[in-house]
Amino acid sequence: MLETVPENLERNSDGPVLCVKSVPLQSIGRYRIVRELGRGAMGVVYLAEDPAIGRLAAIKTINLDNLSEEGQEQQLRDRLIREARSAGILSHPGIVTIYDIQHFDHTTAIVMEYVEGATLLDRMLKSDLAPGEVLGILEQTAAALDYAHSRGVLHRDIKPANLMFSPEGLVKITDFGVAKIGTQKTATSGMVMGTPSYMAPEQISNKAMSPATDQFSLAVLAFELIAGQKPFAAESISGLLYNIVFQDPISVRTLNPSLPAAAETVLRKALAKEPGGRYASCAEFIKVLKTACETKKAWKPVRTMRGSSVAMAAPEMMMPPVAAPVVAETAPSKKPFPMVAAFGIGFATMLAGFFTWQLTQPENKTNTAPLAASVTPAPAVATPKPASPKPAPVVKEAAKAAAAKPEATEALLYPVEFSSEPARATVSVGEQKCTTPCTLDLPKGEQYVRAELEGHKPDIRRVRVPEQLEFTFTLAKPSGGLEVRGPAGATIYVNGQPWKTKAPARLTLPAGTYRIQLELPNGTKDTEEQVELSEGKLVVIN
């Protein structure tokens, strides 16, 4: 007897059971799928056509079927609905237009304006930006943000990956997935949404947010475009959030000496810890920054050191905005280390499930076609479901296929950002090398990283991937030991300056030549002696 097998089915080798083959998605609602534009950690973005009016659109989807934690499906569905509602009430040339929202099976999709262009992150990684381009990008972004603020909408996730260029070169803000309308609360109580490096202190601390919150993120972006690095850095995300809330930003003129002093003053004001200490609007901030930069015609932006490809980009490219724990914004004590440690432990505990789901997925190739609005290439979600006690033939086939391609999981790499104090150190892991600040692609697990800089001692540190995606080396100059065995209580002079401790004492000094002299308690000075200190050597003076 002849059996007819539908096009999307195939016969199972173990018997007459039929297995469903993977068939490309043909349509979403009334929208006809043209092609896939990109994949991210939370879903797929397609180029589609609306047959009713012949208009191209980008459709951003999230497949919620693979979520294992209770409440995740509703939380992510709420996020997409919030994105559609936020951007749907906005009509501005600098903001991507939302057309429609669709729900089918365990998938939610947003239909939006298709922007046939690159993201700002792409531009930053591929080419240098001229001073005029940087200021122009910031001016356009500020104008669009002020418009959204006038309509009661906060974006809350301004970053390079969420800014796109139209074919005409206009900047368009996309991804209002974490935007807040009026007093609308987030889906998860006690949690805040955003991308860690660009979050404002009040956003981290779960305090009241305002247009000044987006201004802080815009200031981080401006700092990065001008100096090539972000204003806050740390070896871990918990340390980064602590620094944003409590520590001063890095000096922008240290990273870019071509800037006038006035530019640093402007950026520090926009990065103020308290929202009231910032500018009245985003446009005012950028206007003052532009005036400050133009006082020195020769200034130039420093190219970003994130890397040269999508796979080597910053951590926020690897994942969607993350839920971060609320940080109680109290002044740090004189001994802040216990507070940092406790905060880090709490952070790791609260986010263990969230990061495990997002950062341990197999890597997928990304279409090289122009990306649509809010496309951030990243590992695709592919969390397998547990097998039943008595697997059916279909399950057996899936297990065989998974066993045949174990390299999909093993090949996953994570971009780890390295910086050093001083900068320009050579960082190496095996055969990979780069000059700080820079990024290396590293596999999951413990990696031993070496940093070297001429005139400084090399440093080897252990980095845990993906728990640590940002790491800073502090390199010390070679030092030698000097033991002074003089009379008790005698003052030690080093190069004519009194030392902080009295004799007898052991001093650790950078390698070099020093003039040493002792002064007895009665005021009598001994003969000055010259000593040469070298790395790892101890010199004794009697």
Among 122, 146, 157, 214, the active-site one is 157
Cα separation, 5 vs 26, whole angstroms:
20
Q: Are 436 and 381 in contact (CB under 8 A)?
A: no
Which residue type does 416 have?
V
Q: Strands of 76-222 (E only): list them.
A: 98-104, 107-113, 153-154, 163-165, 171-173, 180-181, 191-194
User: ∠127-132-133 over CA atoms, to 5°?
Assistant: 40
CA-closest candidate to residue 178, choices 205, 165, 159, 151: 159
Q: Which secondary structure element, helix H or strand E, spans residue 491, and what is its range? A: strand 491-494
Cα separation, 293 vs 98, whole angstroms:
36
Q: What is the DSSP string of 355-386?
A: HHHHHSSPP-----SPP-TT----PPP--PPP
SS3 call for 309: coil
Q: Which secondary structure element, helix H or strand E, spans residue 275, and what is its range? A: none
476 burial type by CB count under 10 A (0-12 exposed, 13-18 middle, 19+ buried): exposed
Active site includes 100? no
Whose tokens are 């390698």? That residue is 511
| Beta-bridge mates of residue 462 | 448
Token digits of residue 11: 């016969």
CA-closest candidate to residue 309, choices 413, 450, 444, 463: 413
Token digits of residue 329: 């914004």
Residues designated catalytic: 157
